[in-house]
Chains A and B, each alone.
Chain A
């Protein structure tokens, strides 16, 4: 009974965070883009003249507005698939959050709770499986709308996502070779070791090339500028979701934005120590000089979750800055980068990682 309650609480926590990320993220992106373009942004919505409270507007009023809009299905559209496409787009992205660890363990009343939605041995492969299912949302939305712009957007989107998934998966193989596990929590724990007694063994030190490839492929997967050819406004109106309105349109926007946060979460987990705080062990800080500070389990868990959240915000902001800095690729440039740039690089990274592991631990 208690186990079920704990599992339910974890699921609710992860799901609510994943859903709230959208509202917070959009407000954050508007503010950040204003800063980048040297203008004052998102200052119309305010409560009692305080612009910061406009955040409540984005969190509450925007979803209500979307839900109350008329839901249009165009003539000649395939009703069933037109309805299902946004769901197929959003659900895999949300489901992926289940395997991402947001802390180590929390000890409450003799119970050890693993701070992860679902403990899965094949967590990293689950991430790839969900990413590959997300493609269907784009393809089917493009096809079911009975609109040429939508179809072009859907075909562009599926080609782009398939191309970059390959580089993404191959970049992850380097990480798996390094940590000898597919379980994201195990990978996170491995990064708690210290090199030379003081340097935290974060993934970026072992797999710098995989980090660059993974981040690039991840930005491409989220279909935002500079990889937004599937929806490029100047050519395709709004690409594969041209014919969507109201709540369904909101779901497509959400899946793109939650994907940005998901890429940030994966980059954090695989390359930047997940929830690790440097020199923080389960019982408190162990500084390199030999000094120790004992801490109760609750404080340690809180510090870890905070550390994960801060890293998440940093990598989300990095992707937002990329979006507001670079112009859109041409289609041939996009394909050349994926197939002739990232793919050979990631293959080289796999070979290199394997050679290093063999050299350090020869086969018995």
Chain B
């Protein structure tokens, strides 16, 4: 990805990410979250990771945020909320965020002084290459994740149907 394109796309991403946090209307925040997640998938395409990019759109932008919106509408939370009294939570969050940015920047700068990135292996980012790694080297974490999701589903049903 060329530098000017990256700067423009990064700006859009950061502005939409800020909108998620700052905007008072929850529906607008959720929409900004969709834009942020979509832009992340654009970056994945720029990094030659097509499969991850498409999965990002299907899972996050397409499924999870739709459920957010759905809940916001069903609970009728659409009136803008007043800000919580006092700036303490905002200051705390801003400090934590700034610390994270400084750490990431430091790590990135240390990396970039090292050798140039090696060329991509054959089929990088493709479905076959990713699936092979997932079902050999990372099989146990993969299965554990699916178990975690199953636990979450069962938990949701138990909570929702307590009286049955």
User: Which residues of A are interface residues toward B (Cβ below 8 A)?
Assistant: 78, 81, 120-122, 125-126, 128-129, 131-133, 135-136, 139-140, 142-143, 151, 154-155, 158-159, 162, 182
Residue of chain A at shortest CB distance from B62: A132
What are 18 inter-chain pairs, A to B, with CB distance below 8 A? A81-B31, A121-B50, A122-B127, A125-B51, A125-B54, A125-B58, A128-B62, A132-B62, A135-B62, A139-B70, A139-B73, A140-B31, A142-B73, A154-B73, A158-B69, A158-B70, A159-B70, A182-B127
In the complex, what distance in Å separates the CA atom of A121 from the CA atom of B54? 11
| A-side interface mostly | helix
Q: Residues 24-67 of chain B: 1 if any A CB is under 8 Å from the residue's CB, otherwise 0?
A: 00011001001000000000000000110011011001110011
Residue of chain A at shortest CB distance from B51: A122
Report which residue of A125, A128, A131, A159 has the largest number of chain B beta carbons within 10 angstroms of its beta carbon.
A125
Q: A139-B69, A155-B74 known; 17 other A-B pairs, CB under 8 Å?
A: A81-B28, A120-B50, A121-B51, A122-B50, A129-B57, A131-B62, A133-B61, A136-B31, A136-B66, A142-B73, A143-B27, A154-B73, A158-B66, A158-B69, A158-B70, A159-B70, A162-B63
In the complex, what distance in Å separates the CA atom of A261 from the CA atom of B75? 36
In the complex, what distance in Å separates the CA atom of A78 from the CA atom of B126? 41
Tell me how far the C-beta of A316 lies from the nearest C-beta in chain B, rounded to whole angstroms: 26
Residue of chain A at shortest CB distance from B41: A129
Residues of B with C-beta under 8 A to A128:
58, 62
Interface size on B, residues (CB 8 A): 22
Contact flag A121-B127 (CB < 8 Å), given A128-B58, A133-B62, A155-B73? yes
Task: Say if the beta carbon of B145 comes within 8 Å of chain A.
Answer: no
Tell me how far the C-beta of A294 lies from the nearest C-beta in chain B, rounded to whole angstroms: 36
In the complex, what distance in Å separates the CA atom of A130 from the CA atom of B74? 25
Contact flag A132-B73 (CB < 8 Å), given A121-B126, A121-B127? no
In the complex, what distance in Å separates the CA atom of A52 from the CA atom of B151? 61
Q: By the criterion CB–CB under 8 Å, are A139 and B66 in contact?
A: yes
Q: By the criterion CB–CB under 8 Å, are A143 and B78 in contact?
A: yes
In the complex, what distance in Å separates the CA atom of A140 from the CA atom of B58? 18
User: Which residues of B are interface residues toward A (Cβ below 8 A)?
Assistant: 27-28, 31, 34, 50-51, 54-55, 57-58, 61-63, 66-67, 69-70, 73-74, 78, 126-127
Q: By the criterion CB–CB under 8 Å, are B51 and A151 in contact?
A: no
Tell me how far the C-beta of A296 lies from the nearest C-beta in chain B, rounded to whole angstroms: 35
8 closest pairs, A vs B, by CB? Answer: A132-B62, A129-B57, A125-B54, A129-B58, A122-B54, A129-B54, A122-B50, A135-B66
Tell me how far the C-beta of B65 lies from the nearest C-beta in chain A, rounded to whole angstroms: 8
Q: By the criterion CB–CB under 8 Å, are B61 and A132 in contact?
A: yes
Contact flag A132-B31 (CB < 8 Å), given A125-B51, A139-B69, A139-B70? no
Residue of chain B at shortest CB distance from A161: B66
Residues of A with C-beta under 8 A to B61:
129, 132-133
In the complex, what distance in Å separates the CA atom of A158 from the CA atom of B65? 12
Tell me how far the C-beta of B126 lies from the nearest C-beta in chain A, rounded to whole angstroms: 6
Residues of B with C-beta under 8 A to A139:
66, 69-70, 73
Residues of B with C-beta under 8 A to A135:
62, 66
Contact flag A81-B58 (CB < 8 Å), given A132-B63, A135-B66, A155-B74? no
Residues of A with C-beta under 8 A to B51:
121-122, 125
Residues of B with C-beta under 8 A to A126:
54
Tell me how far the C-beta of A93 lies from the nearest C-beta in chain B, rounded to whole angstroms: 14
Residue of chain A at shortest CB distance from B125: A121
Tell me how far the C-beta of B113 lies from the nearest C-beta in chain A, rounded to whole angstroms: 34
Residues of B with C-beta under 8 A to A81:
27-28, 31
Residues of A with C-beta under 8 A to B62:
128-129, 131-133, 135
In the complex, what distance in Å separates the CA atom of A122 from the CA atom of B69? 28
Residue of chain B at shortest CB distance from A154: B73
Residue of A131, A136, A154, A182 near B34 (CB, 8 A) is A136
Residue of chain A at shortest CB distance from B25: A78
Residues of B with C-beta under 8 A to A151:
73
Tell me how far the C-beta of A154 lies from the nearest C-beta in chain B, rounded to whole angstroms: 7
In the complex, what distance in Å separates the CA atom of A133 from the CA atom of B69? 13
In the complex, what distance in Å separates the CA atom of A226 from the CA atom of B54? 31
